[in-house]
Structure 1
Amino acid sequence: MNDRAVHIGQAAALYGLAPSTVRWWESQGVLDPPARDGGKRVYTDADLRRIGVAYLCCVVGKMPLDQAAVVTSGKAPHGTWQRAVGDQIESMGQRIEQLEAARDYLRHLLSCHDDDMAQCRFLAGELSARTPRGSVADVDLVAAARAAGKGRDENHASDDEKPETCAMCAGPIARGKRGRRRKYCSPACRQQAYRTRRK
């Protein structure tokens, strides 16, 4: 290695990054892989500048990697990378508006003097104004919930109430507390289905 280049650890340390971050950015196309010396990555001044641009885009600018790659590659025309930055600014503006609205509402919640927020005298108005509950005219929450449920097909049980049946023996399937839904009631039925498919 010449004295005008550094290894990945030093390159990453310059920007307070882990070497794995630099390697990840390279694998995702944010950075071009650098030259190698003896099988190790070596970074020149130009490479270090690119890592700096990647840092500015990904860490400071919070750009998604695919958009950051447009900026950091040095291959996109001026208008193209400027559009990528503009798109990120627009996206951030929308998120900022949402966060400011959320913050403002949480500040509003602080004005409630009740020990239990669910007992606040203004809660009904807030629920009507700020939740889907507002689309149901009933004043009583129980009546509103019943009215909201009428739009669903009441002839069939909901997914939560409908018993699952085994795809092999049509027996009931016990629903697990976590994970995806099961198709078979037992390992034996799962194995039998596998053997049937293989024939």
Structure 2
Amino acid sequence: MSERLTIGELASRTGVATSALRYWEEFGLLPAPARVAGQRRYPPSAVGLVGVVLALRDIGFTLREIKAFIASRSPAGDDWRELYQRKLTELDQRIAHAQTARAVIAHGLDCRHEDILECPRFAGGVAALLAGSSLEEAHEEAHSH
């Protein structure tokens, strides 16, 4: 039988707090480990699994999405690709939104008005948002005049 890791050893090897590891186990991201005298004993492969969780979290997956990703991995399945495609679409939308937000801020900094609230373009953008426009639409509308 290969060496088993205590939760403290797993935490030390991965940089993840023991409380987070317990939560991930409870949430279903990590399989319930064997117990020796009541203590959790993880297989060495748990280090890699924690690494997968960290990598997916860092690229924007929620814990719920990571759980679905882990569950979707089967020798015959391609379900993980659908999860990746959805996340890619979401990230593209977030990037587009962030680029618009950056443009709005840059235009605000370039505004000739002492107080941004006195700027007609800013007021037009706010009015467009209140009318139900997206930030992108409101920004475009405010700068099309």
- Bin the TM-score by the shorter chain: 0.7 to 0.9
Contact 1:50 1:72 in 2 (8 A): no
| 1:4-83 aligned within 5 A | 4-58=3-57, 60-73=58-71, 75-76=73-74, 77-83=76-82
Contact 1:8 1:19 in 2 (8 A): yes
- Taking a change above 3 Å as real, the CA distance of residues 19 and 118 of structure 1, as seen in their structure-2 partners, is same
User: How far apart, in 2, do the equivalents of 1:32 and 1:45 lie?
Assistant: 13
TM-score (norm 1): 0.57
Consecutive unaligned residues of structure 1, counting only runs of 5 or more, are 136-199
Q: Choose from 124, 128, 132 the match for 1:128.
A: 124
CA-CA distance at 1:130 after TM superposition: 5.3
- Taking a change above 3 Å as real, the CA distance of residues 133 and 21 of structure 1, as seen in their structure-2 partners, is closer
SS at match of 2:87: helix
Contact 1:70 1:80 in 2 (8 A): no
User: How far apart, in 1, do the equivalents of 2:129 and 2:50 lie?
Assistant: 49
Contact 1:15 1:55 in 2 (8 A): no
Contact 2:73 2:80 in 1 (8 A): no
Identical columns (%): 23
Contact 2:73 2:79 in 1 (8 A): no
CA-CA distance at 1:21 after TM superposition: 1.0
User: How far apart, in 2, do the equivalents of 1:5 and 1:55 lie?
Assistant: 21
CA-CA distance at 1:89 after TM superposition: 1.7
The structure 1 segments of at least 4 consecutive aligned residues displaced by more than 6 Å after TM superposition are: none
Consecutive unaligned residues of structure 2, counting only runs of 5 or more, are 132-145
Moved more, 124-133 or 4-13: 124-133
Higher RCO by CA contacts (8 Å cutoff, separation 6 or greater) = 2
CA-CA distance at 1:24 after TM superposition: 1.1
Contact 1:6 1:44 in 2 (8 A): yes
More helix by share: 2
1:112 matched to 2:108 = no
- Taking a change above 3 Å as real, the CA distance of residues 9 and 84 of structure 1, as seen in their structure-2 partners, is same
CA-CA distance at 1:86 after TM superposition: 1.8
SS at match of 2:23: helix
- Taking a change above 3 Å as real, the CA distance of residues 31 and 134 of structure 1, as seen in their structure-2 partners, is closer
Contact 1:4 1:44 in 2 (8 A): yes
- Taking a change above 3 Å as real, the CA distance of residues 127 and 133 of structure 1, as seen in their structure-2 partners, is farther
